[in-house]
Amino acid sequence: MATIDPAGKFLFVTDLTSGRIFAYQINQSSGALTAAAGSPFPVPSGGQPSIAVTDGAGKFLYATLISGGIAAFTVDSVTGALINVPGSPFTTSNEPNSIAVSPTGKYLYVANFTDGSVDGFAIDTSSGALSIVGGSPFSTAPSPSNLAVDPSGDFLYVSISPSSTIYGFRVDPSSGTLSALDGSPFPSVQSPSNLMTLKIP
């Protein structure tokens, strides 16, 4: 799984098999890639990183681990090198398989495949460390396929493939706590596999 930081300076690729994350600098003129010094970077505790995201400022990178947990890194703003955040990896529920960060960079959410719960975390904007938000984990249904936070940061949605539904939540801007939307879960296309939210002028 690959992700690009918001500024388009760096590309990060997770290596599930070997428990590493590759980092590349992106040439802003040609698009060519150059490996960042020190790349690939090992994930703590021998974890297997599956999906990675950056925060809104591109200061931190977070990766879900197949066996459970979130690996957290500070991104060197010049080279793209990754530095472990103290306390990483951070504990999650069972089998995290999707991850999203709110547009403000204040909160991070993980959907867990086994029980369908959503873990919510507050992001320390200085260190990148994660702390559980009140009420977490939040319930959906088993086997979620994806989750997404809308561009306003007000709502979070989780697609459930087996039941062809989408769970919707309101995000409390001051705490990151989730509360179910009226009418949730909502009917969806059959076996939804991905989610994306857009802000259209």
> Is residue 30 in a domain?
yes
For position 12, which CATH number holds? 2.130.10.10
Residue 57, Cα to own-chain centre: how many angstroms?
A: 14
SS3 63: strand
> Is residue 173 in a domain?
yes
> Is residue 195 in a domain?
no
> Is residue 200 in a domain?
no
DSSP character string of 122-169: EE-TTT--EEEPTT-SB---SSEEEEEE-TTSSEEEEEETTTTEEEEE
Torsion of CA 33, 35, 36, 39, to 10 degrees: 140
Report DSSP state, residue 191.
S
| Tens digits of residue pLDDT in 168-183 | 999 999 999 999 999 9
Q: Is the four-CA dihedral 39, 43, 46, 47 of positive or negative sign?
A: negative
Domain that holds residue 142: 2-187
| Tens digits of residue pLDDT in 82-114 | 999 999 999 999 889 899 999 999 999 999 988
For the entire predicted model, the pTM comes to 0.92
> Is residue 199 in a domain?
no
| Mean predicted lDDT score pLDDT of the chain | 92
Q: What is the pLDDT of residue 105?
A: 92
> Is residue 138 in a domain?
yes
Q: What is the pLDDT of residue 16?
A: 87
> Is residue 198 in a domain?
no
Structurally, the chain folds into a number of domains equal to 1
Question: Residue 200 above 60 pLDDT?
Answer: no
| Tens digits of residue pLDDT in 47-80 | 899 999 999 899 999 999 988 999 999 999 999 9
> Is residue 98 in a domain?
yes
Q: Nearest to residue 39, comparing CAs of 53, 20, 60, 19? A: 20
Amino acid at 68: G
